[in-house]
Amino acid sequence: MDDANTQTGEEKHPTATPTPQNAAVKGDFAKTVLMPGDPLRSKFVAENYFENAKLVNDVRGIQGYTGTYKGQPVSVMASGMGMPSMGIYSYELFNFYDVDHIIRIGTAGAINKDLKVRSVVAGIAASTNAEYAMSQFPIRGHFSASASFRMLETAVGAAREQGIEIVVGNLYTSDLFYDASGAAVEWGKLAHLAVEMEAYGLYTNAMQAGKEALAICTISDHVLTGESLDAYTRQTAFTDMMEIALETAIRL
């Protein structure tokens, strides 16, 4: 990797906004952005929790809104599915739009027998089957992608104040949604709580940019038992996760 690629996004791309993926300009996003995978969950958060919500991006249907929550500026924008999509949007928010904190609010599949559908989990770190970090950094070895402890501690405190149980542990970020190998179950045996598709990429981008990130996920299905929830419920019913994230956002 040459020296140019080790500079910050601001140095590499001084006029990078808007981008091919994002019609917003600098100043349109708050310092903290909530990122669901689903654009309809982004719309739900804006319409049900924000005051004075303004649509700042709708390129490719990836809806981004900025408004206020309890008087504090907060944004929400979808990440799409998987690390390639999360990688693009979180990179641009951190490096082009001066965002300091991103909170993923997504769904995950339980790979721990003690979790139940609708449980809320927070990822202290993420493992992966992908080469996301290795393609980013001129290093040899296996990169450990970790959450911001400050954000994690804030989220746990907010959850306790709201009387919501939140389970903290490792996440397994997979490149594959349909994986016949059974790898997710094996990661569960190694003290991982749940499988999802974005946290490792988000944490890697945050650490590279010197910013902060946290993934808070609701268990939408259970890999071990086969229990699952329908798509509409995944879009709108996971309000505990959303409210923990919003309370975290205004305390950073």
Residue pLDDT, tens place only, 76-92: 999 999 999 999 999 99
Structural domain contains residue 86: yes
| Runs of H (alpha helix) within 75-190 | 83-96, 149-161, 183-188
Looking at residue 43, its pLDDT comes to: 96
Lowest-pLDDT choice from 77-86, 108-117, 140-149, 188-197: 140-149
As given in the structure block, the two tokens for residue 171 are: 């996440």
Whether pLDDT at 10 is above 60: no
Query: Under a CB-based contact definition with an 8 Å cutoff, are residues 215 and 196 in contact?
Result: yes
Percent of the chain, pLDDT > 90? 79
Q: Which phi and psi angles does 131 have, rounded to 5°?
A: -105, 25
Instruction: Give the count of beta carbons closer than 10 Å to the beta carbon of residue 55.
Output: 16
Catalytic residues: 221
124 CB contacts (<8 Å, ≥6 apart)? 146, 147, 152, 168, 169, 170
Structural domain contains residue 123: yes
Number of independent structural domains in the chain = 1
Structural domain contains residue 4: no
Does the model's pTM come out above 0.95? no
From CA 185, how far away is CA 207, in angstroms rounded? 28
Structural domain contains residue 234: yes
Query: Under a CB-based contact definition with an 8 Å cutoff, are residues 107 and 93 in contact?
Result: no
Query: Under a CB-based contact definition with an 8 Å cutoff, are residues 79 and 37 in contact?
Result: yes
Whether pLDDT at 74 is above 80: yes
Domain assignment of residue 97, given as a range: 21-249
Structural domain contains residue 15: no
CATH number of residue 109's parent domain: 3.40.50.1580
Whether pLDDT at 6 is above 50: no
Structural domain contains residue 119: yes
Looking at residue 168, its pLDDT comes to: 98
Looking at residue 252, its pLDDT comes to: 96
Whether pLDDT at 159 is above 80: yes
Percent of the chain, pLDDT > 70? 92
Structural domain contains residue 106: yes
Structural domain contains residue 6: no
